[in-house]
């Protein structure tokens, strides 16, 4: 219903940006006032399908690929369409205004840990009594349908299953879902899903692939799954069209709204099956496919890619014909941005320690170059930036590609958005990113068409199956294990006894040189990575039979050519991307250990290990000296930076030695979500003066407080690291005091700072602009400080959604630039 | 005061309030003024000092054990009369609680440490600013550093409190692209009370530096007024300075809001606490700017000045 529209709050107006319309401000206010919840429609529909005659028949007779497509198609076509007041882009993400989908195939079951306090959590989930009961039966009833259970509740694998509850060496997120994709939205917008549908039909009719080879049974099943899935998406769009027409017919509706609803109905009858004809239809097509993708696997990191490139022709044609004004284009785009706020991930408070902030990072990538390396930043890049400036919400994510020819106006505009305090956009250096993608096997042209998946992960858009963020790895723990023959310093005896959890490396007394220590460290990293890969391998098997992803396959080049689902290796480029936490702690620890034990010979390695096992008890002076007086990564100190490189290489080389079961390369990255907090709790004392249990360093950032020379030195250290092997990128998080970067002076300073960083070969940087006082106040009194967005790791979150210790970290981090 | 070779007590990078562009700051130790609101009290003495940062101290007692003069009774309690400033305690201190303020460095060493910043300084139209303390107390040394910097294309600015011997400044001014000239309290008697000296020389130096600019014999001069509530923000003070600036021929000024980020440093050096001062609010800043404007002087926030072009472009050596 048309509600009286409110005026935009102050935060949505900024100099240099066109302010939000009352419509956008109104929807935004409504979303900010809506409590989070859990949507059970998807499991309900899946259960209904299983019980239906059709579902029972499919279970008996159909290929798993087809069975899965039928089930998903049932969800798409039977979910109830919901259109909210004044929306220009329609299509509900869940059955509620803001809710997490419950994925029975994945890790959603972790929420049962909070079952009896859902409404009282730090971030409450509003659920009625009967809903909570349904949540319990849904969770328990589907316990053995999850990928994790199918893969690991087996003889000899049970301890790996328990690792989900006691993550120490690694956290395999692929159990929850794969998600993480930048689909081929260029095809969706310009050819429509029809192009894929027709191609699949043709392959089935001919019984052959495009290259002439005959289809096997699996390939036939794949093409059928594609057609069934597209039919489901079409029906979902049709249902929305009918709903829109129904609403348009209501007598109390003003004329203008009726026109809008009919326009939406017409759009949903046309896209995403047919090619979009207008800018609005382009966005509507992308949104509908995005919803389908969300309903398929899980919600993490599903990204839109380079919308300023894909939609540019439609935008220009609409502007030229007078059908669209710049202001209206911004309004439609801002409305699209607000739609992304309808979803959130489902984490129990325990899991939230590792992935705090309720972010899923639905990302736009703006700017950059074409396949020949020429700049393609355009007016739509600016329109999309402005649209996000009108909403400043926790979703979507906005990423900006930077290269030598990035125009100043766009860079300055991007930093101006950054100054507004939502930590967006983050910046990516084309030179380093393209180099890493080429190193991972992409053609130069495809590498240059990269877009960011979710937080920082990278793909050639529409051509890559990254399974990124498959697992997080605790790098500093490997040093602990290396110093103690593969055992943790203080394993919890009750659970693991003195069980060795790492490789059998020599005792400290037998390591007589730094190289011995380094070799033991590398051995532990290899051993840990091997173990992590083993778990992922088991999961991949299960995916192929129980959790295939036809929507994702439709959106990934290569699948139609090969007749294979992405989980079967259909993607043109295939990787498994994993990332390490605690890089700087590992590097600084190697550095400190080398200095005091082997260079200065102040104590023996055994003595140092004894002190670490004792968590520096009685040696506080040594501890603070190691932390405060030795050179550390983040200060442009070449020796310290070299040790960080050694630690990074140990991980990168161990990871790159593996291939996944689809034939794709494993690739490494360095970002930690908030796993550096969770991993820190189980990691013993480190030679860099870090006490047992304290959080580890975050992504590529220096250890908290270790950087003494300010942001230029931090960036210099970061850029000095060789990043060619890091196809899974890194997150370098900097926090600036608001005062430091305010106004035109601050804006210009940041532009110069980042240009300089990228000219040194920097890969990625992201910034929190805030003052500690504001955050302390927000921590004390969350209710009076809604909507503060901070960047936690690669993604953004509302400050109030964070765990208290993560809030403390944000407050504590050095405020750069203050003298 | 003013040995030819000063001590340097800090280098700071990515600064945007002390001249055009992004700048690195070199802090010279030693100052003839003693402004009561000073936030860099470690710059006062030209000699090296030992500071004690109590919040970092873990009371390990290494300083007490190692001091050859037995000058430290317990951590943080150092008998300054016994101390011969050998800095053994600073070296022994694991946490950095005992810290040395002021290190002798050659011009080459200073430039080497600044060099990684050069690309950023150049690209942003910035440079290096000498500050302190009073760099003008060490004109020969400052000239050497400035020459090295300029030979690598890095513009140099001087921030001065204005109390120096103008005859000795000459070779230095030829190497500078900009002089940031701090003005504080106009009334001589008040100035003596609040800043520890007369201000006749300061006003004279301002006048003659601007005169030199006009004759093409020196770099542009840019006045700056720290706005300290109750001390420099009185209408009379602002009007008087405005009059002088008009008269001298610099109808612009940067109004720098007082901050108390450095208050804790007094305790580090064992100095008595300074007066309890407020940070000026936006309203007070605007009022000061308005008052200047009414006197025909354009007031700027730090970092937002329209510096003359020659301040950013590495002006050719002045005729002198």
d(CA A672, CA A696): 9
Instruction: Select the residue of B22, B94, B119 nearest A621 (Cβ to Cβ).
Output: B94
Contacts of B56 in chain A (CB under 8 A): 624, 628
Same domain, yes or no: A778 and A810: yes
Instruction: Select the residue of B62, B117, B124 nearest A621 (Cβ to Cβ).
Output: B62
- Give yes or no for A119 touching B (CB within 8 A): no
SS3 for B197-251, per residue?
Answer: CCCHHHHHHHHHHHHHHHCCCCCCEEEEEEECCCCCCCHHHHHHHHHHHHHHCCC
Contacts of A745 in chain B (CB under 8 A): 16-17, 303-304
Burial call B239-253: b when 16+ CB within 10 Å, e when fewer: bbbbebbeebebeeb
Instruction: Select the residue of A628, A712, A755 nearest B14 (Cβ to Cβ).
Output: A712
pLDDT of residue A7: 30
Contacts of A755 in chain B (CB under 8 A): 123
In a domain, A27, yes or no: no
Q: Are A134 and A204 in contact (CB under 8 A)?
A: no
pLDDT of residue B262: 76
In a domain, A678, yes or no: yes
Cα distance from A749 to chain B (closest Cα, Å)? Answer: 6
Same domain, yes or no: B191 and B87: no
Q: Which domain holds residue A327?
A: 277-462+755-819
Q: How many residues does chain B have?
A: 320
Q: How many CB atoms lie within 10 A of CB A752?
A: 23
Instruction: Select the residue of A636, A753, A755 nearest B14 (Cβ to Cβ).
Output: A753
d(CA A405, CA A559): 35
Chain B's closest residue to A751, CA to CA, is: B124
- Give yes or no for A547 touching B (CB within 8 A): no
Same domain, yes or no: B87 and B193: no
What is the per-residue pLDDT across A708-757, written as a single tens digit (0 to 9) for each? Answer: 888 899 999 999 999 999 999 999 988 776 666 778 888 998 999 999 99
- Give yes or no for B59 touching A (CB within 8 A): no
Q: φ and ψ at B148, to 5 degrees?
A: -60, -45
Tally of CA atoms within 13 A in the half-sphere of A528 that contains its CB: 37
> Could you tell me the two tokens for A510?
């037998």
Cis peptide before A272 (omega within 30 of 0): yes
Kindly list the distances between the CA atom of residue B318 and the CA atoms of B171, B204, B249, B310, in Å, as whole numbers in the listed order.
10, 21, 20, 11
The verdict on a CB contact (< 8 Å) between A752 and B22 is yes
Chain A's closest residue to B124, CA to CA, is: A752
The CATH number that applies at residue B19 is 3.20.20.70
Same domain, yes or no: A723 and A778: no
CB proximity list for A443: less than 8 A, separation 6 or greater: none
Same domain, yes or no: A543 and A608: yes
Same domain, yes or no: A673 and A784: no
| Domain closes at, from A731, A765, A794 | A731
d(CA A537, CA B95): 47
Instruction: Select the residue of A620, A710, A759 nearest B14 (Cβ to Cβ).
Output: A710
In a domain, B2, yes or no: no
Q: Where are the beta strands (DSSP E) in A288-436?
A: 302-303, 363-367, 397-402, 426-429
Parts of chain B with a pLDDT under 50: 1-2, 315-320
pLDDT of residue A816: 37
Chain B's closest residue to A754, CA to CA, is: B120
pLDDT over 70 for what percent of chain A?
93
In a domain, B198, yes or no: yes
In a domain, A363, yes or no: yes
Q: Which residue reads 């850029």 in tokens?
A: A719
Contacts of B116 in chain A (CB under 8 A): 636, 712-713, 716
Kindly list the distances between the CA atom of residue A234 and the CA atoms of A46, A239, A444, A455, in Å, as whole numbers in the listed order.
19, 9, 36, 30
> Could you tell me the two tokens for A362?
């639905």
DSSP string across B178-193: EEEEE----SHHHHHH
In a domain, B316, yes or no: no
What's the domain count of chain B? 2
**Mutation site, A749, A772, A814, interface B, largest B CB count within 10 A:** A749
pLDDT of residue A789: 58
Q: Please, which residues bridge with residue A789 across strands?
A: A798
- Give yes or no for A624 touching B (CB within 8 A): yes
In a domain, B319, yes or no: no
Same domain, yes or no: B141 and B253: yes
- Give yes or no for A621 touching B (CB within 8 A): yes
Q: Are A700 and A731 in contact (CB under 8 A)?
A: yes
SS3 for A559-589, per residue?
Answer: HHHHCCCHHHCCCCEEEEEEEEECHHHHHHH
Alpha helical stretches, state H, A301-451: 307-310, 312-321, 326-339, 349-352, 379-391, 408-417, 430-439, 444-448
Q: Which residue reads 């960080």 in tokens?
A: A644
Residue A304 DSSP code: -
Q: Are A541 and A661 in contact (CB under 8 A)?
A: yes
The verdict on a CB contact (< 8 Å) between B94 and A625 is yes
CB proximity list for A363: less than 8 A, separation 6 or greater: A182, A301, A303, A304, A396, A397, A398, A399, A451, A452, A453, A454, A455
Burial call A277-289: b when 16+ CB within 10 Å, e when fewer: ebbbbbbbbbbbb
Same domain, yes or no: B169 and B67: no
* Coil vs helix vs strand at A429: strand
Residue B313 DSSP code: T
- Give yes or no for B119 touching A (CB within 8 A): yes
What is the per-residue pLDDT across B13-67, written as a single tens digit (0 to 9) for each? Answer: 988 889 999 999 999 999 999 999 998 999 999 999 999 998 889 999 999 999 9
Tally of CA atoms within 13 A in the half-sphere of A541 that contains its CB: 10
Spacing of C-alpha A354 from chain mean position = 13
Same domain, yes or no: B110 and B256: yes
Same domain, yes or no: B181 and B62: no
Query: Which one, of A714, A724, A727, A730, lies nearest residue A580 by Cα?
Result: A730
pLDDT at position A162 over 90: no
Query: Which one, of A109, A144, A114, lies nearest residue A126 by Cα?
Result: A114
Tally of CA atoms within 13 A in the half-sphere of B116 that contains its CB: 22
> Could you tell me the two tokens for B164?
């120096």
Cα distance from A596 to chain B (closest Cα, Å)? Answer: 13
d(CA B56, CA A85): 57
d(CA B214, CA B219): 9
The verdict on a CB contact (< 8 Å) between A624 and B58 is yes
Q: Are A717 and A637 in contact (CB under 8 A)?
A: yes
Chain B's closest residue to A626, CA to CA, is: B94
Q: Between residues 386 and 445 of chain A, which touch chain B (CB distance below 8 Å)?
A: none
pLDDT of residue A762: 98
Residue B17 DSSP code: S
A vs B, Cβ pairs < 8 A, gives 70
Q: Are A69 and A228 in contact (CB under 8 A)?
A: yes
pLDDT at position A557 over 50: yes
Q: How many CB atoms lie within 10 A of CB A56?
A: 12
- Give yes or no for B13 touching A (CB within 8 A): yes
| Domain closes at, from B82, B101, B120 | B101
Contacts of B26 in chain A (CB under 8 A): none
What is the per-residue pLDDT across A539-553, written as a single tens digit (0 to 9) for each? Answer: 999 999 999 999 999
The verdict on a CB contact (< 8 Å) between A713 and B96 is no
> Could you tell me the two tokens for B51?
């500071």
Contacts of A710 in chain B (CB under 8 A): 12-14
Chain B's closest residue to A621, CA to CA, is: B94
**Mutation site, A756, A758, A816, interface B, largest B CB count within 10 A:** A756
In a domain, A130, yes or no: no
pLDDT of residue B313: 64
Same domain, yes or no: A396 and A315: yes
Same domain, yes or no: A663 and A524: yes
Query: Which one, of A552, A74, A43, lies nearest residue A297 by Cα?
Result: A552
Cα distance from B13 to chain A (closest Cα, Å)? Answer: 7
Q: How many CB atoms lie within 10 A of CB A149?
A: 17
**Mutation site, B90, B91, B94, interface A, largest A CB count within 10 A:** B94
d(CA A485, CA A520): 9
In a domain, B138, yes or no: yes
d(CA A413, CA A747): 9
Q: Are B220 and B310 in contact (CB under 8 A)?
A: yes
Least confident of A216-230, A700-714, B77-91: A700-714
Burial call A604-615: b when 16+ CB within 10 Å, e when fewer: ebeebbebbbeb
In a domain, A242, yes or no: no
What is the per-residue pLDDT across A308-332, written as a single tens digit (0 to 9) for each? Answer: 999 999 999 999 999 999 999 999 9
Q: Which residue reads 């532990």 in tokens?
A: A524
* Coil vs helix vs strand at A255: helix
Q: Which domain holds residue B94?
A: 49-101
d(CA A555, CA A297): 14
Nearest 5°: CA angle at A264, between A262 and A267? 110
Q: How many CB atoms lie within 10 A of CB A165?
A: 10
Instruction: Select the residue of A636, A709, A749 nearest B22 (Cβ to Cβ).
Output: A749
Chain B's closest residue to A712, CA to CA, is: B14
In a domain, B320, yes or no: no
Q: Are A478 and A647 in contact (CB under 8 A)?
A: no
Instruction: Select the residue of B124, B261, B301 nearest A752 (Cβ to Cβ).
Output: B124
CB proximity list for A389: less than 8 A, separation 6 or greater: A12, A14, A17, A417, A420
The verdict on a CB contact (< 8 Å) between B96 and A628 is yes
Q: What is the CA radius of gyration of chain B?
A: 20
Kindly list the distances between the CA atom of residue A619 and the CA atoms of A98, A217, A409, A693, A745, in Å, as whole numbers in the listed order.
51, 67, 54, 17, 46
Residue A809 pLDDT class (50, 70, 90 cuts): low
d(CA A297, CA A276): 26
Q: Which residue reads 């939205």 in tokens?
A: A185
d(CA A482, CA A506): 8
The verdict on a CB contact (< 8 Å) between A819 and B22 is no
Same domain, yes or no: A291 and A341: yes
Instruction: Select the residue of B13, B62, B96 nearest A712 (Cβ to Cβ).
Output: B13
Contacts of A752 in chain B (CB under 8 A): 21-22, 120, 123-124
- Give yes or no for B123 touching A (CB within 8 A): yes
In a domain, B317, yes or no: no
pLDDT of residue B259: 80
- Give yes or no for B18 touching A (CB within 8 A): no
pLDDT at position A14 over 60: no
Same domain, yes or no: B119 and B180: yes
Same domain, yes or no: A293 and A435: yes
Q: φ and ψ at A52, to 5 degrees?
A: -70, 155
User: Whole-number mean pLDDT of chain A?
Assistant: 91
Same domain, yes or no: B147 and B131: yes
ipTM: 0.92
In a domain, B271, yes or no: yes
- Give yes or no for B96 touching A (CB within 8 A): yes
pLDDT at position A814 over 50: no
The helix (run of H) or strand (run of E) holding residue A798 is strand A796-798
Same domain, yes or no: A498 and A582: yes
Q: How many CB atoms lie within 10 A of CB B299?
A: 22
Contacts of B259 in chain A (CB under 8 A): none
In a domain, A587, yes or no: yes
| Domain closes at, from B38, B66, B101 | B101
| Domain closes at, from A731, A746, A764 | A731
Spacing of C-alpha B48 from chain mean position = 17
- Give yes or no for A815 touching B (CB within 8 A): no
| Domain closes at, from A731, A765, A781 | A731
Contacts of B25 in chain A (CB under 8 A): 819
In a domain, A69, yes or no: no
Instruction: Select the residue of B58, B116, B303 nearest A621 (Cβ to Cβ).
Output: B58
Instruction: Select the residue of B12, B124, B261 nearest A749 (Cβ to Cβ).
Output: B124
Same domain, yes or no: B15 and B92: no
- Give yes or no for B58 touching A (CB within 8 A): yes
Query: Which one, of A550, A541, A372, lies nearest residue A446 by Cα?
Result: A372
The CATH number that applies at residue B63 is 3.30.70.20
pLDDT of residue B89: 97
Tally of CA atoms within 13 A in the half-sphere of B99 that contains its CB: 22
Same domain, yes or no: B91 and B154: no
- Give yes or no for A691 touching B (CB within 8 A): no
DSSP string across A693-746: TSPPP-TTSPPTTT--S-HHHHHHHHHHS--TT-TT-B--EEEE-GGGG-HHHH
Same domain, yes or no: A567 and A700: yes
What's the domain count of chain A? 2
Same domain, yes or no: B79 and B192: no
Residue A173 pLDDT class (50, 70, 90 cuts): confident
In a domain, A746, yes or no: no
Contacts of B14 in chain A (CB under 8 A): 710-712, 749, 753, 816-817
Same domain, yes or no: B19 and B64: no
Contacts of A817 in chain B (CB under 8 A): 14
CB proximity list for A618: less than 8 A, separation 6 or greater: none
């Amino acid at each position: 219903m048309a509600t009286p529209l409110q005026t935009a709050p102050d935060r949505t107006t900024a100099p240099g940006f066109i302010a939000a319309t009352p419509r956008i401000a109104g929807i935004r206010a409504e979303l900010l006032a809506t409590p989070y919840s859990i949507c059970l429609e998807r499991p309900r529909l899946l259960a209904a399908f299983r019980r239906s005659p059709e579902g029972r028949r499919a279970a008996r007779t159909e290929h798993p690929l087809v069975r899965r497509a039928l089930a998903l198609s049932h969800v798409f076509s039977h979910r109830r369409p919901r259109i909210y007041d004044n929306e220009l882009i329609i299509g509900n993400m869940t059955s509620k205004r803001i809710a997490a989908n419950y994925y029975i195939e994945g890790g959603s079951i972790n929420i049962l840990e909070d079952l009896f306090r859902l409404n009282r959590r730090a971030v409450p989930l509003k659920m009625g009594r009967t809903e909570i009961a349904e949540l319990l039966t849904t969770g328990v009833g589907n316990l053995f349908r999850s990928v994790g259970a199918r893969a690991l509740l087996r003889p000899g694998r049970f301890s790996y299953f328990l690792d989900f509850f006691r993550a120490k060496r690694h956290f395999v997120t692929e159990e929850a879902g794969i998600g993480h994709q930048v689909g081929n939205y260029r095809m969706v917008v310009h050819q429509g899903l029809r192009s894929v549908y027709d191609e699949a039909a043709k392959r089935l009719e001919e019984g052959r692939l495009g290259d002439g080879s005959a289809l096997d049974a699996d390939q036939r099943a794949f093409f059928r799954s594609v057609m069934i899935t597209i039919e489901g998406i079409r029906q979902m769009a049709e249902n929305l069209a009918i709903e829109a027409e129904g609403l348009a017919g209501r007598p109390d509706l003003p004329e203008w709204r009726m026109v809008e609803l009919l326009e939406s109905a017409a759009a949903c009858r046309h896209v995403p099956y047919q090619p979009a004809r207008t800018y609005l239809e382009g966005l509507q097509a992308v949104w509908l496919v995005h919803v389908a993708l969300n309903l398929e696997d899980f919600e993490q990191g599903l990204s839109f890619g380079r919308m300023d490139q894909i939609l540019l022709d439609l935008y220009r044609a609409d502007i030229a014909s007078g059908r669209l004004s710049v202001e209206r284009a911004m309004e439609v785009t801002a409305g699209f941005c607000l739609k992304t706020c309808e979803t959130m991930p489902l984490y129990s408070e325990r899991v939230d320690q590792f992935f705090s902030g309720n972010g899923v990072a639905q990302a736009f990538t703006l700017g950059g170059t074409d396949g020949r390396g020429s700049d393609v930043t355009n007016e739509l890049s600016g329109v999309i930036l402005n649209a996000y400036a009108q909403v400043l919400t926790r979703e979507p994510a906005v990423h900006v590609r930077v290269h030598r020819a990035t125009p100043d106006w766009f860079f300055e505009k991007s930093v101006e958005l950054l100054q507004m305090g939502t930590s967006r956009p983050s910046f990516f250096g084309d030179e380093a990113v393209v180099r890493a993608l080429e190193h991972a096997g992409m053609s130069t042209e495809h590498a240059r068409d990269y877009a960011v998946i979710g937080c920082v992960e990278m793909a050639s858009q529409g051509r890559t199956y990254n399974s990124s963020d498959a697992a997080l790895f605790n790098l500093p723990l490997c040093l602990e294990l290396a110093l103690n023959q593969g055992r943790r310093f203080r394993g919890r005896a009750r659970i693991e006894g003195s069980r060795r959890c790492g490789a059998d490396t020599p005792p400290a007394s037998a390591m007589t040189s730094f190289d011995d220590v380094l070799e033991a460290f590398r051995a532990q990293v290899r051993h840990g990575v091997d173990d992590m890969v083993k778990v992922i391998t088991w999961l991949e098997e299960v995916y192929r039979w129980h959790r295939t992803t036809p929507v994702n396959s439709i959106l990934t080049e290569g699948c139609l050519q090969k007749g294979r689902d992405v989980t079967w290796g259909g993607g043109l480029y295939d990787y498994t991307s994993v990332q390490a936490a605690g890089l700087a702690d590992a590097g600084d620890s190697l550095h400190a250990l080398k200095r005091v034990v082997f260079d200065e010979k102040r104590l023996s390695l055994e003595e140092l290990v004894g002190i670490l096992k004792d968590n520096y008890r009685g040696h506080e002076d040594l501890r603070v000296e190691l932390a405060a007086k030795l050179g550390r990564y983040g200060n442009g100190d070449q020796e310290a930076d070299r040790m960080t490189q050694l630690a990074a290489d140990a991980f990168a080389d161990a990871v790159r030695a593996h291939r996944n079961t689809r034939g794709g390369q494993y690739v490494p990255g360095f970002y930690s979500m908030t796993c550096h907090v969770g991993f820190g709790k189980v990691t013993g004392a480190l030679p860099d003066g870090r006490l047992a249990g304290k959080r580890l360093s975050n992504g590529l950032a220096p250890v908290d407080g270790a950087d003494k020379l300010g942001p230029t030195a931090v960036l210099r250290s970061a850029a000095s690291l060789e990043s060619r092997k890091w196809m899974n990128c890194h997150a370098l998080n900097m926090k600036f005091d608001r005062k430091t970067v305010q106004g035109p002076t601050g804006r210009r300073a940041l532009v110069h700072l980042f240009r300089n960083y990228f000219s040194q070969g920097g890969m990625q940087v992201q910034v929190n602009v805030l003052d500690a006082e504001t955050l302390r106040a927000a921590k004390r009194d969350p209710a009076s400080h809604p909507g503060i967005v901070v960047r936690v790791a690669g993604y953004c979150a509302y400050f109030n959604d964070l765990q208290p210790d993560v809030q403390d970290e944000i407050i504590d981090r050095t405020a750069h630039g203050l003298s | 005061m003013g040995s030819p070779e000063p001590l340097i007590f800090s280098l700071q990078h990515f600064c945007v309030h002390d001249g055009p562009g992004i700048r690195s700051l070199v802090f010279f130790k030693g100052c003839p003024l003693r402004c009561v609101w000073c936030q860099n009290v470690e710059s006062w003495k030209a000699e090296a000092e030992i500071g004690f940062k109590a919040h970092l101290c873990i009371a390990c007692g290494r300083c007490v054990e190692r001091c050859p003069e037995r000058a430290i009774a317990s951590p943080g309690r150092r008998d300054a009369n016994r101390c011969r400033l050998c800095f053994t305690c600073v070296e022994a201190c694991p946490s950095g609680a005992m810290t040395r303020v002021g290190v002798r460095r050659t011009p080459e060493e200073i430039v080497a440490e600044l060099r990684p910043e050069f690309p950023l300084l150049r690209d942003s139209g910035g440079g290096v600013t000498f500050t302190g303390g009073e760099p003008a107390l060490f004109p020969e040394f400052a000239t050497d550093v400035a020459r090295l910097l300029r030979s690598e294309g890095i513009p140099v600015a001087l921030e001065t409190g204005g109390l120096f011997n103008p005859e000795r400044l000459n070779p230095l001014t030829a190497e500078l692209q900009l002089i940031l000239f701090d003005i504080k309290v106009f009334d001589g008697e008040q100035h003596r009370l609040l800043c520890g000296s007369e201000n006749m020389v300061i006003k004279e130096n301002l006048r003659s530096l601007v005169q030199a600019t006009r004759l093409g014999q020196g770099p542009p001069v840019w006045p700056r007024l720290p706005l300290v509530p109750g001390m420099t923000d009185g209408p009379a003070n602002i009007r008087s300075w405005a009059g002088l600036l008009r008269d001298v021929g610099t109808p612009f000024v940067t109004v720098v809001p007082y901050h108390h980020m450095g208050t804790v440093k007094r305790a580090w050096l064992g100095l008595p606490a300074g007066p309890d001062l407020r940070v000026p609010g936006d309203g007070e800043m605007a009022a000061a700017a308005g008052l200047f404007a009414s006197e025909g002087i354009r007031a700027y926030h730090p970092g937002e000045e329209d510096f003359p072009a020659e301040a950013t472009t590495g002006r050719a050596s002045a005729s002198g």
